[in-house]
């Protein structure tokens, strides 16, 4: 287990969307004080939303990041209930921000829904975004999620085949994969170097509700061993729902719980 503990060292991040009711400087300072190594910069946060009149300008954002001592693990906009025009506009803004910050990865979700028309629209959107990603030198990572167009591994493989871009990567949410795939460890190994960023949380049964590590069914030692086997070097970013009222509390107990699951 000690090897797995060191495998996590320097790689634990937190999604900024949980801190959307805190200012950006306050959120980053809190995460650093709690021992986090990185942060996923979510465009859903009002300080980063390209459409928000009071958003941070780039020099201010870079200064805040430097002062916090946190690494930008990724930039993201999921927008599963947005329209395609909004996704494209904010996707481009996110890719540009990742490029300017020197961040390797921009993460996108797909829209809620299913069907051939929705999949074709996702393919068109992803193709456009990957062209920008190739120009900017940034990976465009799609996150499979139950209930969306790219629900799991099957849909993600189809998207990769249609788009055909070397910049199209996977943001693997281990809870999502636990719900949609028969073997989480095998799914990790299947994707291998395609995985450039990881969301981590616990899941109980097949219920799509993100839980604190240890409150569900995931074997964290086994899944981390699978990541070790593929020589994964990216972040493990804790991803929790509905925590905006007490993000400091949940960020603290989630990090402690994750480390605790492999220190036994």
Question: Over the stretch 51-78, which tens digit does the pLDDT of each residue have?
Answer: 999 899 999 999 999 999 999 999 999 9
Whether 90 has a pLDDT exceeding 70, the answer reads yes
| 135-144, 212-221, 254-263: least confidently modelled range | 254-263
Q: For residue 137, how many other CB atoms are within 10 A of its CB?
A: 12
State the chain's maximal CA–CA distance in angstroms: 48
CA distance 46 to 54: 8
Superfamily of domain 2-263: Divalent-metal-dependent TIM barrel enzymes (3.20.20.150)
Three-state SS across 46-109? Answer: CCCCCCCCCCCCHHHHHHHHHHHCCEEEEEEECCCCCCHHHHHHHHHHHHHHHHHHCCCEEEEC
Of 35, 64, 2, nearest to 14 (Cα)?
A: 35
Task: Show me where the domains of the chain are located.
Answer: 2-263
Give me the helices (H) in the chain, please.
2-8, 24-33, 58-68, 84-101, 116-136, 153-163, 174-180, 184-191, 220-229, 247-263
- pTM for the whole thing? 0.96
Whether 263 has a pLDDT exceeding 80, the answer reads no
Structure tokens at 37: 């190594």
For 6-48, what is each residue's pLDDT tens digit? 999 999 999 999 999 999 999 999 999 999 999 999 999 999 9
Sign of the dihedral through C-alpha 39, 75, 25, 71: positive
From the centroid of its chain, how far is CA 78? Answer: 9
Long-range CB pairs of 183-188, under 8 A, 24+ apart, other chains included: 184/218, 184/222, 184/223, 184/226, 185/222, 185/223, 185/225, 185/226, 187/153, 188/223, 188/226, 188/227, 188/229, 188/230
């Amino acid at each position: 287990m000690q090897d797995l503990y060191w495998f996590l060292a320097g790689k634990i991040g937190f999604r900024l969307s949980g801190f959307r009711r805190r200012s950006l400087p306050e959120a980053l300072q809190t995460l650093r004080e709690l021992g986090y190594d990185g942060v996923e910069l979510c465009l859903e946060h009002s300080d980063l939303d390209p459409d928000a009149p009071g958003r941070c300008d780039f020099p201010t954002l870079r200064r805040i990041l430097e002062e916090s001592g946190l690494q930008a693990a990724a930039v993201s906009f999921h927008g599963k209930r947005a329209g395609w025009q909004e996704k494209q506009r904010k996707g481009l803004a996110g890719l540009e921000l990742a490029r300017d910050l020197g961040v390797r990865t921009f993460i996108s979700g797909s829209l809620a829904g299913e069907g051939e028309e929705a999949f074709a629209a996702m393919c068109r959107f992803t193709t456009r975004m990957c062209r920008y990603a190739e120009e900017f030198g940034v990976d465009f990572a799609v996150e499979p999620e139950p209930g969306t167009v790219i629900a799991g591994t099957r849909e993600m493989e189809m998207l990769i085949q249609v788009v055909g871009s070397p910049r199209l990567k996977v943001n693997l949410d281990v809870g999502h994969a636990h719900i949609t795939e028969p073997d989480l460890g095998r799914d990790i190994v299947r994707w291998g170097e395609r995985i450039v960023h990881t969301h981590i949380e616990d899941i109980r049964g097949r219920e799509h509700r993100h839980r604190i590590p240890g409150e569900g069914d995931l074997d964290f030692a086994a899944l981390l061993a699978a990541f070790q086997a593929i020589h994964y070097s990216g972040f493990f970013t804790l991803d929790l729902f509905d925590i905006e009222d007490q993000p400091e509390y949940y960020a603290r107990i989630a990090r402690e719980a994750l480390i605790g699951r492999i220190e036994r």
